Structure 1
Amino acid sequence: MKKTILFFIVVVAFSLTGCKKYLDVNKNIDAPDHVDGYLYLAGIQQQYEGIYWDTRAIGALTQMMGTNSSTYSTYALNSYIPGNDAAGETWRMVYWNQGMNLENLINQSLAAEDWTLAGIGYAIKAFSWDLMAKVNVDAPMKEAFVPGVLTHNYDYEKDIYAQVRAWAYKAIELLEKTDDHIYGTKITANDYIFGGDKSKWIKFAYAVIVRNLSSLSNKTDFSSSYAQELITAAGKSFQNPDDDATLKIAGGSQSAPYSDYNNFWGTANANLSYTYFQHEYAVQLFTGTVPEYDESTGEKVRGVEGNTYYPYKLAADQIVTDTLKNSMGHYDPRVAVKLGTTSNPTFLNQDNADSVKAYRYYGGTFTSTAGPIGTAPSYYGRNAASLYSGTVHDGIGRWIYRDDAPYILTTYAEIQFCLAEAYWKLGKKAEAFAAFKEGVKADMVTTGRYIYPGKAGSATGGDKISKSLFASLADQYVSGPFVNGLANFTLSHIMIQKWIALYPWGAPEAWVDLRKYNYDIKYSGDYPKSGNGWTATMVDQKWDSDPQKVYKGFYLMPAQVQGRKGSYDIKNQGAPCYRLRPRYNSEYMWNKGSLSALKPIPGTADNYQTSIPWFAYPGELPN
């Protein structure tokens, strides 16, 4: 598909006094010397489409997605493609798509004392750099935009993290500053996230701080160094789902002037189609069908003979839901919205609970739609590539896989789960439980907001549950045994419900959580390594029966269980992926010297993608 290109602003001033004055307007013959800061804003924000680009790779690493894309399946297998820019969009977004445009917005707004606009710029900068520091980890920061520098030394993640929070606090300072400038529609018409609402931008900046600190929750000094700052920031951040940070887009489907006016995951763009599909792990969580494994063999324990939908014995401890769908509060209606199903192809009885609860869901493997019990459908709900015309088609899509759906950046629900985890680490279980319940409740609101029901009797796309039925079932679920009535509250409940809330738009943050808990790998000492957590052919993960295992049912590809007994590329040396590599066309073409100086694994090494980030070490980086 055609990529979004940064807009270029050309200001033409014409004077009736003669050509000489017209030619003297700018010293720069290629572009205007000055552009008002607000004119950068819309273009900078729209570059967050890039998050959805890279989520196709990161979604595979989190087992939210599977993919048979010849490019992105490499990431599903925890490897990378040499000489390729795939999964380099976050890097490109920060350094080029936003890049100097964002620097100019901030600097010119500061010079003009446009404090509101400068504050918005710093909030955006903090969010973007926080994302890149988690995805790519180490990156050039101090020398990023120094004029005349042709190679750029790298800064380590720890230093970038501190600067991210400094930028966020600077945003807050500027946004809280008295600003008597009259902007008119200069900000409101160009701010596609909060429409110029300063109070929400302040909350957003605090949300960046919360997300940044939350990734450090498994460090040994989290309780003493970071927890209270996180809790304080959470209290000043989003107060309800109406504060969710989303980026509005134009939509328009096939009538749009450019395909990029549509959501990257909508049907008008062929970016999800049937190349990407829900992973079996996602289906297991959403349907309460995490299987039990025989720990002596790693094989799934067989269930009732002849039951093809539930062929395996189910683990006793299901975190999100179970298969007792007809018992009050046991059914999680998010499954009917977030996952695709081929059930009910003509969208009948969307307001009938029995009909909706009867839907069946199937997940694929890492690289194939063929899963352990059936075939994973497309995200639109058919075992076929997406079509937007004909007697059977997907229309404009559904939920956030819809042409006019906004991009979700972060939500109140996510912040509440971060808060719950922080309280848990401090031993404040009552406060953790309260935040956990609020997080699930909030995600129900956020999920229901984007439901777009299909037309009854017509196989032409949309969601397969009505908004009213979803709201009713959501209330029952929140009041039921998996949320408000939860008897045995654990860290697993916080982290897995957070994973569900992030599905799949928040895969980058879900990947942060999986990595900071080191994928539940079984090891001794401070961190896993070859011979102590994995070998060249197998990753040794905690069994679901281990009370210390956080992500029940989650096993990496070369684990000890059925369906996972493969191996990584030999270049990984047995280790899973812990970071995405920098963009090839900038760093491996022009900055290899700086990459090669990185420690503990050089950026030019064959296994650089396995280098553990600073946030996932209990202390500092090892030598």
Structure 2
Amino acid sequence: MRKIYILFFAFALMSAAGCKKYLDINTDPATPQDPDSKSLTPPLFAQMERGIQYDSRYVGGVIQYFGGAVNVGETHGWISGSDAAGEIWRTNYYGLGGNLNLIIDKSTSQQEWNYVGMAQAMKAWSWQTTTDYHGDIILKQAFEPGRYVFDYDPQQDVYAEVVRLANESIKNFTRTDGNGTVGKMSSADLVYQGVNAKWVKFNYGVLARNANNLINKANYDPAKVIDYVNKSLEGNADNFIVPNGGTTATNGNFYGPLRNNLSLYRQTRMIVGLLDGTTFTGTLNPTLDPRIQTMITPLADGTYKGTFPGSSIASDGTPYLSIPNPWGALNSVVPAAGQGKYLFKDAAGFPIMTYAEMQFIKAEAAFRMGNNAMALEAYKNGIRASIEFVSALGTAIPSAQISAYLTSAAVKQTADVLTLKDIMLQKYLALYGYGFVETWSDLRKYHYISGDSKGNNPYAGVFVFPTTFYVDNGGKPAQRYRPRYNSEYLWNTAALRKIGGLDNDYHTKLMWFTETN
């Protein structure tokens, strides 16, 4: 962050010293010097997926979406002196932050309230994602011109700012005055094509995530969570999915073969167990869940295997090279361009928020409120939505197979036997490949396999820690990722010291939202 402001400050001094004519002479007439909101908007969507996808290579190991002993993520560790796992930080402060501020300022002056609302929605989402990933972050001083060091703000302040921004965005999207129109925004809005109502739903989805993470707090309100969800996404048609061109490495999905970022990664035993029948029914039945053929891949002998955290082999000794990577290839093979499967294809869009996630949030809140009938309905809605979402990404799943799964022993059929474990594990499965930060938030708020203060322990017996944690952890699981090295550990160490950010085990310090009070 300091480098950004040094450059900004140098440019300001040049302008103040009478260099305007020189700068005018070197102005490129083909490049706007005062870009409008329409020009600034399209690249921002790519920034949203970039941060999560880059960092998923590490947090994906922590939450066991990715395996293969590829990096320290699987042992809950960190890499000293590296920007690895710091891309969400970069996205929030560099990829999105200043650009969103420009849109808000520019569009406010032009009374384009839909652009203002869009920028506020993205900013709310970014603050939520960044604090859920890093914990205490820089909020109040983040974009002050001329500042070179920045104080960290507690996570509860960031949570409050997310609520404020999302509500301001909703207000702006519901204004009927001003000059903002669907026509002005539709071509720049790569996800919702300028439809205000869909952005309003997205904001309520952000609010639902925010409120649903607070189960350990005295002010947790499940009724508020449910209200937010009811105003959020109404079906898969409302999913927030960032599109990818997929024709070159430049416009292709980060997960696709053209980018070649996943050849060493492997499918995990936890994902395999959720899909092959063993976790939900106790019996191996890989034909039961219709998502299995699209989401993961069998070995050459037709069986499904996955790695355990920190290990490159399956429990039965199946070697690393025989276990498929996320593309569905063996022996670390990189498929041809355009190949792959599920979300791991060149042209696959990246989901930022889905209807399935919202329904599982509702199911969790309803269950905690004691309304098991509502919880059962939302739980089943979430499962169906997930299957239909997966169906659209591969070979279409026949409705008969969907019905067979929804009425099988893998899915609870009555409210009296539904458990929080059923809800959270189906949510974990539904978010595979995209909901990395949300799944990690769920695992941490239930303290991984320890459970919450009320005795709810949805991941016990299913989630498995690595045999040995990273050397700096002191036997503790990861709770956060450290701020980005290049901006914070090089330039902002005094502020980091105040929050314990220089401690070797800082990444194991509990988040505010996971602490009971």
Q: TM-score, normalised by structure 1?
A: 0.74
Structure 2 partner of 1:581: 482
Q: In the TM superposition, what is the alpha-carbon distance from 1:59 to its structure 2 partner?
A: 1.1
Q: Which residue of 1 aligns with 2:323?
A: 376
> Equivalent residues in 2 for 1:115-126 (5 A)?
115-126=113-124
Q: What is the match of residue 517 of structure 1?
A: 446
Are 2:309 and 1:319 aligned? Answer: no
- Find the residue that maps to 1:276 and give its secondary structure: coil
- Map of 1:154 onto structure 2: 152
Structure 1 Cα separation of the partners of residues 468 and 429 of structure 2: 27
SS of alignment partner, residue 216 of structure 1: coil
Distance 1:59 1:111 in 2: 42
**Residue equivalent to 1:490:** 419
Q: Return closer, same or farther for 1:421/1:80 CA change in 2, 3 Å cut-off.
A: same
Give the number of equivalent residue pairs: 490
Residue of structure 2 in register with 1:502 after alignment: 431
Distance, in Å, in 2 between the alignment partners of 1:436 and 1:605 is: 41
**C-alpha distance 421-579 of structure 1, shift in aligned 2 (>3 A):** same
Instruction: After TM superposition, list the pairs within 5 Å mapping 1:371-450 onto structure 2.
Output: 371-373=314-316, 374=318, 375-389=322-336, 395-450=338-393
Q: Aligned-pair distance for 1:220?
A: 3.7
| Contact 1:139 1:157 (C-alpha < 8 Å) held by counterparts | yes
For residue 65 of structure 1, give the secondary structure of its aligned residue in structure 2.
Answer: coil
What amino acid is aligned across from residue 230 of structure 2 in structure 1? G
Query: CA distance change for structure 1 residues 413 and 401 in 2, over 3 Å: closer, same or farther?
Result: same
Contact residue 287 and residue 321 of structure 1 kept, 8 A: no
Within a 5 Å distance, the mapping from 1:203-282 to structure 2 comes to 203-222=201-220, 226-252=221-247, 256=248, 259-273=249-263, 275-282=264-271
Counterparts of 1:356-371 in structure 2, within 5 Å, are 359-371=302-314
Equivalent pair of 1:119/1:175 in contact (CA under 8 Å): yes
Aligned partners of 2:190 and 2:344: how far apart in 1? 19
Q: Is contact 2:115–2:180 with CA below 8 Å preserved after alignment?
A: no
CA deviations 1:347-371 (Å, max 9, x no partner) are xxxxxxxxxxxx4211012244421
**Greater RCO between the two (CA within 8 Å, min separation 6)?**
2
Distance in 2, matches of 1:363 and 1:194, equals 37
Structure showing greater Rg: 1
The 8 Å contact of residues 64 and 503 in structure 1, kept in 2 or not, is answered as yes
Q: Which residue of 2 aligns with 1:339?
A: 296
- Identity across matched positions, percent: 31
Instruction: Using the TM superposition, give the Cα deviation of residue 555 of structure 1 relative to its aligned residue in structure 2, in angstroms.
Output: 4.3
How far does residue 340 in structure 1 lie from its aligned partner after superposition?
2.3
Give the C-alpha shift of residue 483 in structure 1: 2.7
Asked whether the equivalents of residues 419 and 435 of structure 1 are also in contact (C-alpha less than 8 Å), the reply is: yes
* CA–CA separation in structure 1 for the residues paired with 2:206 and 2:338: 35
What residue number does 1:300 align with? Answer: none
1:527-573 per-position Cα deviation (integer Å, ceiling 9, x unaligned): 9xxxxxxxxxxxxxxxxxxx84311433443xxxxxx5x33234212
Residues in 1 aligned to 2:32 and 2:396: alpha-carbon distance in whole angstroms: 50
When you count helix as a share of all residues, which structure comes out higher? Answer: 2
Asked whether the 8 Å contact 1:285–1:321 carries over to 2, the reply is no
Q: Secondary structure at the match of 1:518?
A: coil
What is the CA-CA distance between 1:416 and the residue it aligns to? 0.7
Residue 605 (str. 1) matches residue 495 (str. 2): no
What amino acid is the match of 1:261?
N
- Out of 284, 288, 291, the position equivalent to 2:277 is 288
Structure 1 vs Structure 2 CA RMSD: 2.5
Change (3 A) 1:386 1:423: same
The Cα shift of 1:217 comes to 2.1
Please give the alpha-carbon distance, in whole angstroms, between the structure 2 residues aligned to 1:186 and 1:340.
44
Correspondence for 2:190 among 175, 186, 192: 192
User: Within 2, Cα distance between the matches of 1:522 and 1:247?
Assistant: 34
Q: C-alpha displacement at 1:132, in angstroms?
A: 0.5
Shift of 1:395: 4.3
Could you state the TM-score of these two structures normalised by the residue count of structure 2?
0.89
Q: Which of these residues, 397, 407, 410, is aligned with residue 479 of structure 1?
A: 407
**Contact 1:320–1:496 (CA under 8 A) maintained in structure 2:** no
Asked whether the equivalents of residues 182 and 195 of structure 2 are also in contact (C-alpha less than 8 Å), the reply is: no
Are the counterparts in 2 of residues 281 and 553 from structure 1 also a CA contact under 8 Å? no
Task: Show the counterpart of 2:6.
Answer: none
1:467 equivalent among 396, 409, 421: 396
Alignment of 1:551 with 2:440, yes or no, is no
User: Which structure 2 segments of 5+ residues have no match?
Assistant: 1-19
**In 1, Cα distance between the equivalents of 2:427 and 2:25?**
53
Deviations 1:98-121 (A, max 9, x none): 121111011111111100111011
| Post-superposition CA distance 1:468-487 (Å, at most 9, x none) | 44x43122111333336256
Shift of 1:183: 5.0
Q: Which amino acid aligns with 2:102?
A: N
User: Quick one: distance in 1 between partners of 2:389 and 2:451?
Assistant: 35
Q: 2:138 aligns with which of 129, 132, 140?
A: 140
- Residue 149 of structure 2 aligns to a residue whose secondary structure is coil
Q: Distance in 2 between matches of 1:570 and 1:182?
A: 54
SS class of match (1:509): helix
Aligned partners of 2:338, 2:33: CA distance in 1, in Å?
A: 45
Aligned pair in 2 of structure 1 residues 447, 243: CA closer, same or farther (>3 Å)? same
Partner of 1:246, secondary structure, is strand
Kept after mapping to 1: 8 A contact 2:276/2:286: no
- State the shift of 1:450 in Å: 1.2
Which residue is 1:356 aligned to? Answer: none
The verdict on how the C-alpha distance between 1:29 and 1:371 changes in structure 2, with shifts beyond 3 A counting, is same
Q: Contact between 1:168 and 1:209, CA under 8 Å: does it hold in 2?
A: yes
Q: How far has the Cα of 1:245 moved from its partner?
A: 0.8
Letter in 2 for 1:383: L
> Which residue does 1:615 correspond to in 2?
513
Structure 1 residues 282 and 553: alpha-carbon distance in aligned structure 2, compared to 1, 3 A threshold: farther
Mapped contact 2:275–2:286 kept (Cα < 8 A): no
For the structure 1 residues 597 and 250, does the alpha-carbon distance in structure 2 shift closer, same or farther, using more than 3 Å as the test?
Answer: same
Deviates more, 1:40-49 or 1:477-486: 477-486
Secondary structure of 2:364 counterpart: helix
Indicate the SS of the match to 1:409. strand
Cross-structure match for 1:10: none
Given that residues 451 and 458 in structure 2 are in contact (C-alpha distance below 8 angstroms), is that contact kept between their aligned partners in structure 1?
A: no
Question: Equivalent residue for 1:354?
Answer: none
Q: 1:228 to 1:261 in 2, by over 3 A?
A: same
CA contact (8 A) 1:369 1:377 kept: no
Q: Which amino acid aligns with 1:577?
A: A
- Contact residue 66 and residue 266 of structure 2 kept, 8 A: yes
